[in-house]
Amino acid sequence: MNKGKLIVFSAPSGAGKTTLVKHALETLDNIQFSISCTTRDKREGEVDGKDYYYITPEEFKEKIANDEFVEYEEVYTNNFYGTLKSEVERITESGKSVVFDIDVIGGLNIKKIYAEQCLTVFVHPPSLETLKERLISRNTESEEKLKQRIDKAGIEMETAPKFDIILMNDDLDTAKKETIEIIQNFIS
């Protein structure tokens, strides 16, 4: 059986990568989501073992010590996120391709490790102002956390040219259609 490939979706917070990745997972049956570990609190509606594995900072440190992560980052102050080796291995061994929703540094690190097997997609918001509006209307962050995410967005946007593909997420239906085309072209 052929091993699956890897498709990374990265962007600043609020650009829409989770929305597009969820659409791809609902549409295509030959891909699976790499469920990351995080130390952040679970949001309303999120499910442990589906959206993330929600673990304590102590558990996260233990996993680092046991070399269980392909990559990990302190993405925002005191919040750690990491990709498990076991997720990537389980999905690729099954012949399916792995889809990641991770930050820009994590995304570029995955590319360095898996090279040709991996496609990196930068989800580009129409503007920083739109990104801010999307994050505010999602209504998931405290004032402080919202500021951290918006402050970091400008620097994250500068990494866009390092990605294989830049996907403009302006009109949602168009971006969803392009997401499916990008994945299908890469894994077929």
Ligand X SMILES: Nc1ncnc2c1ncn2[C@@H]1O[C@H](COP(=O)(O)OP(=O)(O)OP(=O)(O)O)[C@@H](O)[C@H]1O
Ligand Y SMILES: Nc1nc2c(ncn2[C@@H]2O[C@H](COP(=O)(O)O)[C@@H](O)[C@H]2O)c(=O)[nH]1
What are the beta bridge partners of residue 6?
A: 98, 118
Report if residue 101 touches ligand Y, rule: CB under 6 A.
yes
18 is a contact residue toward ligand X (CB under 6 A): yes
Select 81 or 114, whichever has its Cβ closest to ligand Y. Answer: 81
- The partner in contact with residue 36, picked from ligand X, ligand Y, none with C-beta cut-offs of 5 to 8 angstroms by kind, is ligand Y
Tokens of 179: 């997401």
User: Does the annotation flag 175 for ligand binding?
Assistant: no
Question: Is residue 45 packed enough to be buried (19+ CB in 10 Å), middle (13-18) or exposed (0-12)?
Answer: exposed
**What are the Cα distances from residue 56, in Å, to 34, 61, 63, 79, 139?**
19, 9, 11, 10, 24
With b for 16 or more beta-carbon neighbours within 10 A and e for fewer, the 4-38 pattern comes to: bbbbbbbbbbbbbbbbbbebbeeebeebbbbbbbb
Residue 13 marked as a ligand binder: yes
| Residue 19 binding result from ligand Y, ligand X, none, given CB thresholds of 5 to 8 Å by partner type | ligand X
Q: Which of residues 49-78 bind ligand Y (CB under 6 A)?
A: 71, 73, 75
From ligand Y, ligand X, none, interface partner of 75 (C-beta below 5 to 8 A by class)? ligand Y
Alpha-carbon distance of 119 to 107, in angstroms, equals: 10
Taking CB under 6 A as the binding criterion, the range among 23-31, 60-68, 99-107, 163-171 that sits at the site for ligand Y is: 99-107
16 is annotated as contributing to ligand binding: yes
Q: How many residues bind ligand X (CB under 6 A)?
A: 14
| CA–CA gap between residue 65 and residue 50 (Å, rounded) | 24
Q: Alpha carbon of 177 to those of 7, 153, 169: distances in Å?
A: 16, 25, 11
Q: How far is the CB of 148 from ligand X (least distance, A)?
A: 11
Is residue 12 part of an annotated ligand binding site? yes
Annotation: binding site for ATP: 11-18
Binding site for ligand X (CB under 6 A): 11, 13-19, 134, 137-138, 169, 172, 175
Binding site for ligand Y (CB under 6 A): 13, 36, 40, 71, 73, 75, 81-83, 101-103, 106
